[in-house]
Structures are given as C-alpha cells and as structure tokens.
C-alpha cells in the first residue's frame, strides 16, 4: 500500500487503485475533509485557503483537484502556483486565510505527492486537529455549496518575492556584509521550486549563483533527499567552479544542506548548529531540536549561556516546545531551520540568509567553520520485525535494561550516555524499530547501533 493517511496529511504514489494509492478521488476526498474542517472552526460568511505546490510532475493536476474541491465547498482559494512550503506558511497569515495546503511529498521521489495541511497561523496541524480531518474523510460528512455560493480562485504569484523581502528585512540578516563578501555559490535546486527561490534570494544578496538542476520541471536528477550520497554532482561542481560553497535543498525547500569549498559535506545536522551559533551570538536564548538531532546544538547553546531542549520527532512537536521554552531558534537535524522572528516553520531561505551572514561576519571558509564545531557522528539503522511482535513491549524492555542511564521516553526511548546516545523509535506504518545513534567517531556510532540491535533481537528471540 502506497497511500499513507496521518495526522499531518495524506501522501502516496500517483495512480493505481482508489484507497491504495494517491488517486484523484483520494485527493478530492481528503481536500473536502480539510475544507469541511476549516468551516467547522468558525462560523463566518467567507472562507479562504492558500494553496501552493512544488514542481512535481503531478503537481498541477493535484493542485487543480484540491483547489476546485475547495471551491465546491464555497471556499475561496489563493493560488500561489509554484511555491515552497515555507512560502505558503508565510502567506497564510498575510492573506488572513483560514488555512493552507502545500502539494508536495517533500524529499520523496517523483512518483510521490502529498497534501500538507496548515492552520490559520500557517503552522502544521496538531494531532487532535489532524485526527478530526481523518474522521471527516472516513465518515463522508462533507456538504458542498450550492451554485450561487461557490468559492473563487485568485492567483497570486508574488509570494516568493514577498518571502524574500521578509527574510531580507530580518534584523540579523546582514545584507551589507554579505554583499561585500562577494560570495560565489553553487545551487542544486533538484529541478523543483528551490531552483526558483534560492537563486532569487542570492541575487538580492549580491551572491553569484551557479545553477545546477534549477529547472522546475519535476524531473529530479537524483534522489531528492539532500544527503551526502545524493549530492555528488553538487560536490564536483563546487570544486570545478571554485565556489565558496554549495547549497542543496529538497523539492519543497524546507530542508537545507551545505557542501564546503573542498566538495565535502558540511553535515546536514550542522546546518542548524551553524545558524543557531550565529543567532545565539546576537540574541542569547534557548534552542530546541528533535530527539534524533545532534548533541552539538546543545553544546553550542550552552556555550552561549542558553538552555537546550529536545522534543519528540515531528515539526509540530519542535514548534510546540519552542513556544513553551521561548526558543530563539530551533529545528530538526535533517537541515530544517525554524526561526520564529520570521515564522514557525522549517525554512531553507532564512537558513541560507543566516548562514551567509555568519560566514560574512566571521570571514572564514566553510570548512574552517565546520572544524570549529564539536565533532559528532551519527548512525541511522533499523530493525525489521515480524508483524506479530509487540514493538512497544520491546521498547519497554530496553527502557528497563538501561534504567540507570538518563532516559527520555516522550517519543520511543532515548538513552543518553556520557559521550554518546541512542534513540529507538517504532514506525507508525510497519513493524520496524528505527535506531539512531551518535558518538565521537563514526565507528563508535555504528558499533553502538549494532550492539543495541543485537540486544533488541535477543529480547525478541529473533
């Protein structure tokens, strides 16, 4: 089955059977459930939803289905067309809308698409709200508007430029210093909307941009997740072009990774570390990332006199904890930067601007910057178990086994050792336990993961 319904939206592969894949009927049903939920939030005369998409091949089809379903419910639509996830998030409150939908499957391959759902603040829905939409979809409790009350579609293609304006207006974005630094950067836009937004941002900052895969045609030239093994072309181009560094984003531009001037990966975990280092140096305060992110953020936060907190995995969980702890910056170790001064959502554009500001002020190379941070190495593995095994019981047994260590159990089990940690989480869709570890060397991280896998298998009797 390649249709996954969750509290954060619906995603799947295009085509196939209704209910098993993301077909037009599934898209319409879920959009109708979301629109019905929007109308249940408050009684008013007019409703409005912002809709945008990444450059996937199926994007235009999916967006038209979703928009016209909302129109059929009597909801007006602000059509951003080709956009980015953070751009839609910014547009929702600016348009005084009741919500937003982004048509994107984020880092998934081109055959995938999804509906990402936002509330009136332009933030992802919480678990309770998401569950209500799933219930509406299953109950078919949708009533459509009569002919005189249909909604309208209003096209607004200015929001990427507006988004860039908002980034450049931030106090900590040092536009003057960036322009003086005369940077040259290679951009891998994975043939999606990052190929539009990032070069436009760089142009406004006076940065020379060498474009690589920046044609927004949806034909991804490599696996679109911005990991080291997928960015070999970018690494080569950075060296060939004698660039200061390389930028890689995922298709909807909420994840950000850098390549240093030698063609080496800066480390997706260290995108947030570097941006936080800069922000904390100007505005001391607290930080938040999810439990599977590097310990380096905690180290940097403490260096600046702040407090670090770890949330459950998931952007909405990070955002909630950021609000609770008045965090000045936060995000996820996969290259997602959340800077509340702009908005509460992962945003590669603000990440690029903060990173460039840091480099311009420090006047150092990207490789030297990376060398200035604590060295940690991660291992990410999984155990595939038979469906009859009780995954929760296995995690409980591991919790008991390590009861003397520092434990966090808000999302699976995280065990913090003095110089390393391991995080065990179960998959929501299949009998899998994910094993994330971090240690002072790659060999130690892998060894810790392998040890824990052996212990779990021993408990499970497999």
Give the C-alpha separation, 98 to 119, whole Å: 7
In the sheet that holds 47-53, the strands lie side by side as 3-6, 9-13, 112-118, 99-103, 47-53, 75-82, 153-155
Residue with token string 């009797």: 461
Give the C-alpha separation, 383 to 386, whole Å: 10
Q: Which of 365, 333, 318 is nearest to 8 (CA)?
A: 318
Give the C-alpha separation, 49 to 68, whole Å: 12
Give the C-alpha separation, 414 to 291, whole Å: 7
Give the C-alpha separation, 351 to 330, whole Å: 11
CA quadruple 36, 40, 41, 44: dihedral positive or negative? Answer: positive
- Beta strands 327-332 and 99-103 are unpaired
> Which are the catalytic amino acids?
106
Contact 353, 278 (CB under 8 A): no
E-strand ranges in 45-109 read 47-53, 75-82, 99-103
Residue 167 three-state SS? helix
Q: Per the structure block, which two tokens stand in for 215?
A: 């044609």
Give the C-alpha separation, 112 to 58, whole Å: 8
Name the DSSP class of 224: S
Q: Which of 9, 69, 60 is nearest to 39 (CA)?
A: 69
């Amino acid at each position: 089955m390649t249709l996954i319904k969750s509290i954060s939206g619906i995603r799947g592969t295009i085509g196939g059977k209704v209910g098993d894949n993301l077909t037009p009927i599934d898209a319409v049903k879920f959009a109708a459930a979301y629109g019905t939920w929007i109308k249940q939030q408050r009684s008013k005369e007019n409703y409005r939803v912002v809709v945008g998409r990444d450059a996937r091949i199926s994007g235009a089809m999916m967006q038209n289905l979703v928009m016209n379903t909302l129109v059929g419910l009597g909801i007006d639509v602000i059509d951003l067309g080709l956009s980015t996830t953070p751009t839609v998030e910014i547009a929702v409150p600016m348009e005084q809308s009741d919500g937003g939908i982004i048509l994107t499957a984020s880092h998934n391959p081109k055959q995938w698409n999804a509906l990402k759902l936002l509330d009136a603040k332009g933030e992802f829905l919480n678990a309770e709200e998401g569950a209500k939409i799933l219930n509406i979809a299953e109950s078919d409790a949708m009533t459509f508007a009569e002919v005189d009350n249909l909604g309208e579609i209003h096209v607004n293609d200015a929001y990427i430029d507006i988004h860039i304006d908002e980034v450049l207006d931030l106090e900590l974005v040092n536009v003057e210093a960036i322009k003086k630094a005369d940077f040259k950067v290679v951009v891998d836009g994975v043939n999606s909307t990052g190929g539009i937004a990032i070069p436009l941002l760089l142009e406004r900052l006076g940065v020379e941009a060498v474009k690589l895969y920046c044609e927004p045609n949806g034909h991804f030239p490599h696996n679109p997740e911005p990991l080291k093994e997928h960015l070999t072309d970018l690494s080569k181009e950075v060296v060939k072009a004698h660039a200061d560094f390389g930028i890689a984003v995922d298709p909807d531009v909420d994840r950000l990774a850098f390549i240093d001037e030698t063609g080496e990966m800066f480390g997706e975990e260290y995108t947030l570390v570097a941006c936080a280092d800069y922000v904390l140096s100007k505005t001391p305060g607290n930080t938040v990332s999810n439990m599977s992110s590097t310990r380096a953020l905690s180290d940097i936060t403490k260096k600046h006199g702040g407090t670090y907190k770890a949330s459950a995995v998931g952007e909405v969980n990070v955002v909630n904890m950021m609000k609770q702890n008045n965090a000045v910056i936060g995000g996820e170790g996969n290259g997602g930067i959340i800077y509340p001064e702009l908005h509460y959502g992962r945003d590669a554009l603000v990440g690029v601007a903060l990173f460039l500001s840091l480099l311009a002020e420090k006047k150092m190379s990207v490789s030297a910057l990376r060398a200035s941070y604590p060295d940690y190495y991660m291992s990410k593995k999984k155990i595939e178990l038979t469906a009859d095994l009780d995954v929760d019981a296995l995690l409980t047994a591991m919790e008991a086994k390590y009861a003397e260590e520092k434990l966090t159990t808000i999302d699976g089990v995280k065990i913090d050792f003095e110089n390393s940690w391991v995080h065990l989480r179960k998959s929501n869709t299949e009998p899998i336990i994910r094993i994330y570890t971090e240690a002072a060397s790659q060999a130690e991280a892998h060894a810790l993961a392998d040890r824990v896998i052996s212990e779990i298998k021993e408990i499970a009797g497999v």
